[in-house]
Amino acid sequence: MTATQELFAHAVRLPSEERRFLAEIIWQTVDADLPAQWENEATLGAEIERRFQEFKAGRERGLSHDDVFSAARSLAA
């Protein structure tokens, strides 16, 4: 089991309030690592639109709710 899988397995057993807090503080570190270009709402909006058009054209495949949660459960196992 990788360190990430082990951490996830422990985190999912935490009470919901502690999981929410953990998610928030982890997200803050991710947010801090985002490129400066994403701070500009127009740039971010253009990227969202570009990705949506790629998805609609069939060049990108989205993940279903089941796919996402199946992957999360397999990490926790």
What is the chain's mean pLDDT, rounded?
86
Which of 12, 31, 32 has the alpha carbon at shortest distance from 22? 12
d(CA 8, CA 72): 9
Contacts of residue 12, defined as CB under 8 A and 6 or more positions apart, other chains included, come to 19, 76
d(CA 36, CA 27): 16
For residue 7, the one-letter residue type is L
**Token reading at 73:** 């459960």
Say what the pLDDT of residue 39 is: 73
Higher pLDDT among residues 2 and 19, named by residue:
19
Q: What is the pTM of this model?
A: 0.45
Residue 32's pLDDT band, with cuts at 50, 70 and 90, is confident
